[in-house]
A = this chain, B = another copy of it.
Amino acid sequence: MEDPSLDAVSTPGRVAAADEGIGQDELALAARNHGLPLEALRYDVTPPGLHYVLVHYDIPATDAQRWRLSVKGQVRTPLELGMDELRALEPVTRRVTMECAGNGRAQLSPRPVSQPWLVEAVGTADWTGVRLQAVLDRAGVRADAVEAVFTGADHGIERGIEQDYQRSLPLPVAEDVLLAYEMNGRPLPPQHGHPLRLVVPGWYGMAHVKWLHDITLTDTPFTGFQQAVAYRYRQTPDDPGEPVTRIAPRALLIPPGFPDFMSRVRVVNPGPLPLEGRAWSGHGPITRVEISADDGHTWADAEVTPRPPHSTAWQAWHTTWTATPGRHTLAVRATDADGHAQPLDPPWNRGGFANNAVQRVALVCRSATAS
């Protein structure tokens, strides 16, 4: 029998036709990966099981007792560290808002075919672990090292290339990176990288390598699939593109009132309506959140809780809007300290990355007598 071509099951990236509904392949990803139900934005720290989850291949079966992290390449002393050895180093806890680079993809037109997120691929957790720098200091970084390549235990095939999930970071970025073994004070759950993962505050999720078992320092930039092929902003298939790195600013509103089951349209009563939500950016604190009820013609400022120094967690915001009977669409826009503001129209690229167009929430306000 002829060797079946893996090309037949692992096809190139593609963009959906203009009128093409979500396919069974996209649905299978949506069913196994998890979004944050937007009402869960109410929690400062996302409760277990509500944080977004994106797994490229399968969640691997792991054993913390036998786990080894190897540190090798351009180091003076290669290391093999068990979890006990990592836990013996000084622990650090960081509250970090994490977002999938593909968040917003399914709202693009035409739609890049991949995990079809709307706006819910986000979550905030307290991550505890050791500073990557502490481990690198023990290994001794050679002068010619330029990047650290991180390898996870999840194995699969993607666009024809069989791989363990791998990503790199330039060494200067690695200074602010955590090797995390706890999430919200408990050992990592399987889907969040048990027993060890990378946490890269301010960067999209693809950088936070889960089920981490190898760190290799290299003297040339890494050109693996997830670095050089996937996770780049491209307009065409042959565009080399720019790498996806830090999180673009976004504000999300907790949808007010109550929903219809199927349409998720919200129902509210007339009068003053408290609105609240979260906002974040990987480029710095959020300095402004605005609300519009007229499709972006006019905006009103919300109150934004300042971000503590060194935090990379989302910030709470709130305001009041006066509902009048009829149908409305609320839009929310965040601006960060770097001056980046969310666009009204989705920024498009072939991977469907970083679509941070303003969130729009449809609602119907009943007349006073109807309530």
What residues of chain A have their CB less than 8 Å away from a CB belonging to chain B?
1-4, 6, 8-11, 20-32, 34-40, 42-43, 47-51, 53, 55-59, 61, 106, 113-114, 116-118, 120, 155-159, 162, 189-192, 255, 258-265, 267, 324-327, 362, 364-367, 369-370
Contacts and interface: CB of A to CB of B under 8 A. Distances in A.
A182 to B, nearest CB: 14
Contacts of A191: 37, 40, 47, 49-50
Given A40-B59, A118-B27, A262 B158 contact: yes
Contacts of A9: 260, 263, 265, 267, 362, 364
A37 B21 contact: no
B39 A59 contact: yes
A258 B156 contact: yes
Contact of A25 (B11, B264, B267, B366): B264
B59 A258 contact: no
A166 to B, nearest CB: 14
B262 A31 contact: no
A69 to B, nearest CB: 22
A364 B106 CA distance: 29
Given A30-B30, A156-B258, A162-B258, 7 more contacts: A31-B117, A37-B59, A40-B190, A49-B51, A50-B189, A50-B191, A58-B255
A262 B10 contact: yes
Nearest to A157: B260
A267 B47 contact: no
Contacts of A159: 261-262
A366 B3 contact: yes
Contacts of A155: 258
A11 B262 contact: yes
5 A-B pairs with least C-beta separation:
A21-B21, A49-B49, A22-B22, A3-B367, A9-B265
B47 A190 contact: yes
Contact of A10 (B20, B59, B118, B260): B260
A179 to B, nearest CB: 21
Contacts of A56: 261
Contacts of A40: 59, 190-191
Contact of A190 (B24, B31, B50): B50
A39 B53 CA distance: 15
Which of A38, A162, A262, A324 gathers most chain B CB within 10 Å? Answer: A262
A189 B47 contact: yes
Contacts of A23: 21-22
A255 B58 CA distance: 9
A192 B50 CA distance: 11
Contact of A61 (B42, B50, B113): B42
A258 B72 CA distance: 27
B48 A4 contact: no
29 contacts: A3-B366, A4-B366, A6-B267, A6-B366, A8-B364, A10-B261, A10-B262, A11-B263, A21-B21, A22-B23, A22-B26, A22-B27, A24-B106, A28-B118, A31-B118, A34-B34, A37-B191, A39-B61, A40-B59, A40-B190, A50-B189, A56-B261, A58-B258, A58-B259, A155-B258, A156-B260, A157-B258, A157-B261, A158-B260
